[in-house]
Amino acid sequence: MRQAEFAIGQFNSRRQYEWKVTIGLWALIAAFVAFLRTQNPQFDQFLILGIIVWILYSFFWLRGVWVGNQDDKNWANHYLKEAEKIFNNTDHIPQTGKLGRKRLKDLP
């Protein structure tokens, strides 16, 4: 049970960082829009920069957070199921090993 609680704690901790980074990104977007209203920049350069920032944020930050959250939920469910099996059958030996991640093509 402690291992399941630990996995859920990891999940909740990661969510705390996720919303803080997301609010920080929205603050940067608002500051960027305010800057564009006061300046007369070359639009193409800033559009390309915005697209690059969005790609970096999406694929390097969000995907990592989502994968980590899914892993923590899988571990928590695994430990809870094993604890339930031990509770129902005291002779049960818990399974150990890696749960493994699903590949992108295996996701629904």
Q: What is the pLDDT of residue 107?
A: 45
d(CA 72, CA 70) in angstroms, rounded, equals 5
pLDDT of residue 1: 66
Secondary structure element (H or E) that encloses residue 84, with its range: helix 63-88
pLDDT for the residue numbered 101: 60
Per-residue model confidence (pLDDT) at position 74:
81
Do 11 and 69 meet the contact criterion of CB atoms below 8 Å apart? yes
Burial class of residue 83, CB neighbours in 10 A (0-12, 13-18, 19+): middle
CA distance 29 to 62: 17
Helix (H, G, I), strand (E, B) or coil at 101: coil
Q: What is the pLDDT of residue 90?
A: 78
Average pLDDT of adjacent 10-residue blocks, the chain of 108 residues: 74 82 85 78 73 82 81 81 83 68 50
